[in-house]
Structure 1
Amino acid sequence: MQFADPSHLLRSCKHPQLLLQIHANLIASGLAQRDSTTAHLINSYSSIGNSHASRLVFNNSTNPSVVSWNSMIRAYTRTNHNREALELYNTMLLHKRLQLDKYTFTFALKACAGAMDLKAGVGVHGVVARRGLGTDVFIGTSLVDMYCKMGEIGVAREVFDEMPVLDAVTWNAMIAGLARSLESFDALELFRRMGLSGIEANSVTLLNLFPAVSRVSDTLLCKSVHGFVVRRDFPCAVSNGLIDMYSKCGNVDDARRVFDCMSRDDISWGTMMAGYTHNGCFVEALELFDYLKGCNLKLNQVSVVSALMAAAEIRDLEKGREIHCYIVQGSGTNLDVMVATPLMTLYAKCGELGKAKEIFDGVVDRDVVVWSALIAAFVQAGHCKDGLSLFREMQSGNVKPNRITLISILPACADLCTLHLGKSIHCYIIKFNIGLDASIGTALVAFYAKCGSFSHALILFDMMGVDKDVVTWNALINGYAQIGDANNAMEMYCQLRLAGVFPDSGTMVGVLPACVLRNALDEGTGIHGQIIKSGFAGDLHVRNALVDMYAKCGNLITAEFLFNESGLTKDVITWNVMIAGYVQNGCAKEAITTFYLMRLENIQPNVVTIVSVLPAAAYLAAIKDGMAIHAYVIRSGLESFIPVGNSLIDMYAKCGRLHVAEEFFCRMAIRDIVSWNVMLAGYALNGLGHQAVEFFSQMVKSSEVDSVTFVNVLSACRHGGFVEEGRNIFHSMRSKHEIEHQLEHYACMVDLLGRAGKLEDAWVFIHQMPMQPDAGVWGAFLGACRMHSNSELGEIALDNLIKLEPQNPAHHVVLSNIYAQSGRWGDVGKMRTKMSNMGLKKVPGCSWVEIKNEVHAFKAGDQTHPQFGKMSILWDDLLQKMEKMGYVPDTSCVLHDVEEEEKESFLYSHSERLALVFALLNTESRVPIQIVKNLRVCPDCHTAMKFISKITARRIIARDSNRFHHFENGTCSCKDYCWDMRFCALEGDLQYARQVFDQMEKPNCFPWNMIIRAYSDSEQLPLKALVIFHKMLEQEVEPNHFTCPSVLKACAQMARVQFGKQIHGQIIERGLGLDSDQFVLSNLV
Structure 2
Amino acid sequence: MTRRFAHERVVTKCYGSRIQFVLHHRLSVYDPPEDGHRIIKQILWSYGSYAAPLFDYMELIQTERERTQFGGANAADRDAIFLALLRGCANIKDLRRGIRIHENILRQGLLEKCSDALICMYARCGALEEATDLFEVHKSRDIFTCTALIAAYVQAGQAQHALDIFDYMQRECLPPNEVTCVCLLKACGSLQEAVKGQEIHDEVLRRGLLRNNVKLGNALIAMHAKCGAFAKAEQVLSQLQVPNVISWTTLISAYADHGKGEEALMCYEQMRYNNVAANTVTFTCLLKACGSIKALDKGEKFHDEIAKEGLFLDNVVLGTALVDMYAKCGALVKACHVLEDMPVHNVITWNALISGYVEHNEGEQAIRCLEQMKGDGLSPDAVTFACILKACASICALDIGVRIHNEVANQGLLYDSIIVGNALVDMYAKCGALSKARETLLELPERNSISWNSLISGYTEHGEGAKALDCFEQMQQEGITPVAVTFACALKACGSIGAVYKGEDIHNEIIRQGLLKDDVVLGAALIDMYAKCGVIAKARQVLEVLPVGDVVCWTSLIGGYAEFGQDEEALVCFELMESEGISPSPLTFSCALRACGNLGAADTGEKIHNAITKQGLLANNVLLGNALVDMYAKCGNLAKARQVLEKLSVRSTVCWNALILGYTEHREFDQALNCFDQMLSEGLFPDEATYMCILRVCGSIGAAEKGEQICEEIQKHGLLQKDIMLATALVDMYTKLHLLGKAQQTVEELPFRDVFIWTTLIAGHTDHGEAKLAFECFEKMQSEGISPDGVTFACILKACGSIRAVDQGQIIHYELAKQGLLGTDITLGNALVDMYAKCSDFKKAWQVLEELATRDVQTWNSLIAGLAVQEKAEDVFICLEQMQDDGILPNAETYLYVLRMCGNTGALTKGAKYHAEIIERKLMDNNVLISMGLVDMYAKCGMFSHAKEVLQNYSVYDVPSWNLLIAGYIEHGECMQALTCFEQMESEGICPNAATFALILKVCGNLGAVCKGEIIFRKIAEQGLLQNDAVLGSAVVDMFAKCGALNKAHQVLQELPVQDTNSWNGIMGGMIQRGDCIQVLTCFEQMQSEGLSPNAMTFTYILNACSRLGLIEKAQMYFFSMKSKYGLTPELEHYSCMIDAFGRVGHLDRAVKMTKEMTSAGKEVWPILLGACRKWGDVEVGEWAFEHVL
TM over 0.5: yes
Contact kept, 8 Å, 1:684 with 1:719, in 2: the verdict is: no
Provide Cα deviations, 1:556-614, integer angstroms capped at 9, x if missing partner: 3333444466653537x6466446534543457877998997999898968x8899889
Give the drift of 1:402: 1.0
Q: Using the aligned pairs only, state the percent identity.
A: 23
Matches of 2:1049 and 2:893 in 1, distance apart?
Answer: 40
Give the drift of 1:391: 1.8
Letter in 1 for 2:711: H
Runs of 5+ in structure 1 lacking a partner?
735-739, 844-887, 918-937, 945-969, 972-979, 992-1085
Contact kept, 8 Å, 1:646 with 1:678, in 2: the verdict is: no
Give the drift of 1:816: 7.1
Contact kept, 8 Å, 2:672 with 2:697, in 1: the verdict is: yes
Letter in 2 for 1:110: K
Question: CA 1:942 to 1:337, structure 2 compared with 1: closer, same or farther past 3 Å?
Answer: farther
Contact kept, 8 Å, 1:721 with 1:756, in 2: the verdict is: yes
Letter in 1 for 2:668: D
> Does residue 376 of structure 1 match 2:559?
yes
> Does residue 544 of structure 1 match 2:544?
no
Matches of 2:356 and 2:545 in 1, distance apart?
Answer: 39
Letter in 1 for 2:272: L
Give the drift of 1:717: 3.9
Contact kept, 8 Å, 2:500 with 2:533, in 1: the verdict is: no
Contact kept, 8 Å, 1:889 with 1:904, in 2: the verdict is: no
Provide Cα deviations, 1:1015-1057, integer angstroms capped at 9, x if missing partner: xxxxxxxxxxxxxxxxxxxxxxxxxxxxxxxxxxxxxxxxxxx
Matches of 2:476 and 2:1122 in 1, distance apart?
Answer: 74
Letter in 2 for 1:523: K
Letter in 1 for 2:461: H
Contact kept, 8 Å, 1:240 with 1:268, in 2: the verdict is: yes
Question: CA 1:308 to 1:397, structure 2 compared with 1: closer, same or farther past 3 Å?
Answer: same
Structure 1 counterpart SS, 2:954: helix
Contact kept, 8 Å, 2:459 with 2:467, in 1: the verdict is: yes
Matches of 2:787 and 2:543 in 1, distance apart?
Answer: 30
Match of residue 320, structure 1, among 462, 482, 500: 500
Contact kept, 8 Å, 2:794 with 2:828, in 1: the verdict is: no
Match of residue 676, structure 1, among 882, 886, 891: 891
Matches of 2:731 and 2:238 in 1, distance apart?
Answer: 74
> Does residue 519 of structure 1 match 2:702?
yes
Provide Cα deviations, 1:245-294, integer angstroms capped at 9, x if missing partner: 33433444443443454344332232223223333444543543465567
Structure 1 counterpart SS, 2:824: helix
Provide Cα deviations, 1:25-52, integer angstroms capped at 9, x if missing partner: 5555555775444444444455455545
Contact kept, 8 Å, 1:304 with 1:323, in 2: the verdict is: no
Alignment of 1:434-473 (within 5 A): 434=617, 435-451=619-635, 453=637, 456-465=640-649, 467-473=650-656
Matches of 1:478 and 1:825 in 2, distance apart?
Answer: 54
Which residue in the other structure is 1:698 paired with?
A: 917
Provide Cα deviations, 1:279-310, integer angstroms capped at 9, x if missing partner: 34445435434655677764455554445444
Which residue in the other structure is 2:610 paired with?
A: 427
Question: CA 1:351 to 1:561, structure 2 compared with 1: closer, same or farther past 3 Å?
Answer: farther
Contact kept, 8 Å, 1:343 with 1:356, in 2: the verdict is: yes
> Does residue 6 of structure 1 match 2:227?
no
Which residue in the other structure is 2:128 paired with?
A: none
> Does residue 755 of structure 1 match 2:971?
yes
> Does residue 275 of structure 1 match 2:490?
no
- Stretch moving more, 323-332 or 200-209: 323-332
> Does residue 245 of structure 1 match 2:427?
yes
Contact kept, 8 Å, 1:324 with 1:343, in 2: the verdict is: no
Contact kept, 8 Å, 1:638 with 1:644, in 2: the verdict is: no
Give the drift of 1:156: 3.4
Matches of 1:68 and 1:599 in 2, distance apart?
Answer: 82
Question: CA 1:528 to 1:250, structure 2 compared with 1: closer, same or farther past 3 Å?
Answer: farther
Match of residue 102, structure 1, among 276, 280, 290: 280
Structure 2 counterpart SS, 1:773: coil
Contact kept, 8 Å, 1:41 with 1:57, in 2: the verdict is: yes
Question: CA 1:8 to 1:426, structure 2 compared with 1: closer, same or farther past 3 Å?
Answer: same
> Does residue 653 of structure 1 match 2:864?
yes
Give the drift of 1:107: 3.1
Give the drift of 1:401: 1.0
Which residue in the other structure is 1:204 paired with?
A: 383
Contact kept, 8 Å, 2:762 with 2:774, in 1: the verdict is: yes
Provide Cα deviations, 1:681-713, integer angstroms capped at 9, x if missing partner: 242354476555534433433446213442443
Matches of 1:125 and 1:663 in 2, distance apart?
Answer: 90
Contact kept, 8 Å, 2:570 with 2:595, in 1: the verdict is: yes
Give the drift of 1:217: 3.7
Give the drift of 1:196: 0.9
Matches of 2:220 and 2:1003 in 1, distance apart?
Answer: 102
Contact kept, 8 Å, 1:441 with 1:461, in 2: the verdict is: yes
Number of equivalenced pairs: 872
Contact kept, 8 Å, 1:10 with 1:40, in 2: the verdict is: no
> Does residue 173 of structure 1 match 2:352?
yes
Runs of 5+ in structure 2 lacking a partner?
1-169, 831-853, 868-874, 1064-1095, 1107-1113, 1138-1158, 1171-1190
Question: CA 1:842 to 1:73, structure 2 compared with 1: closer, same or farther past 3 Å?
Answer: farther
Letter in 1 for 2:738: G
Q: TM-score, normalised by structure 2?
A: 0.63
Letter in 1 for 2:710: I
Give the drift of 1:523: 2.0
Which residue in the other structure is 2:587 paired with?
A: 404
Which residue in the other structure is 2:405 paired with?
A: 226
> Does residue 767 of structure 1 match 2:986?
yes
Structure 2 counterpart SS, 1:165: coil
- Stretch moving more, 584-593 or 175-184: 584-593
Structure 2 counterpart SS, 1:554: coil
Matches of 1:217 and 1:644 in 2, distance apart?
Answer: 53
Structure 1 counterpart SS, 2:379: coil
Letter in 2 for 1:225: I
Contact kept, 8 Å, 1:680 with 1:692, in 2: the verdict is: no
Matches of 1:74 and 1:22 in 2, distance apart?
Answer: 22
Question: CA 1:431 to 1:985, structure 2 compared with 1: closer, same or farther past 3 Å?
Answer: same
Match of residue 185, structure 1, among 364, 368, 371: 364
Letter in 2 for 1:446: D
Letter in 1 for 2:926: D
Q: Which fold has the larger relative contact order, with Cα–Cα distance below 8 Å and residues 6 or more apart in sequence?
A: 1
Matches of 1:940 and 1:61 in 2, distance apart?
Answer: 123
Give the drift of 1:821: 8.4
Matches of 1:911 and 1:21 in 2, distance apart?
Answer: 111
Provide Cα deviations, 1:930-951, integer angstroms capped at 9, x if missing partner: xxxxxxxx9969999xxxxxxx
Which residue in the other structure is 1:506 paired with?
A: 689
Q: TM-score, normalised by structure 1?
A: 0.69
Letter in 1 for 2:583: K
Matches of 2:932 and 2:210 in 1, distance apart?
Answer: 93
Matches of 1:323 and 1:838 in 2, distance apart?
Answer: 68
Structure 2 counterpart SS, 1:6: helix
Give the drift of 1:400: 0.7
Which residue in the other structure is 1:732 paired with?
A: 953
Question: CA 1:579 to 1:8, structure 2 compared with 1: closer, same or farther past 3 Å?
Answer: same
State the Cα RMSD in Å: 5.0
Contact kept, 8 Å, 1:753 with 1:761, in 2: the verdict is: no
Structure 2 counterpart SS, 1:374: helix
> Does residue 213 of structure 1 match 2:402?
no
Structure 2 counterpart SS, 1:10: helix
> Does residue 150 of structure 1 match 2:339?
no
Structure ranking higher in helix proportion:
2
Contact kept, 8 Å, 2:1001 with 2:1035, in 1: the verdict is: yes
Alignment of 1:710-859 (within 5 A): 710-718=931-939, 720-734=941-955, 741-758=957-974, 759-775=978-994, 777-778=996-997, 796=1016, 800=1020, 803-804=1024-1025, 806-811=1027-1032, 838=1058
Matches of 1:14 and 1:174 in 2, distance apart?
Answer: 31
Contact kept, 8 Å, 1:615 with 1:647, in 2: the verdict is: no
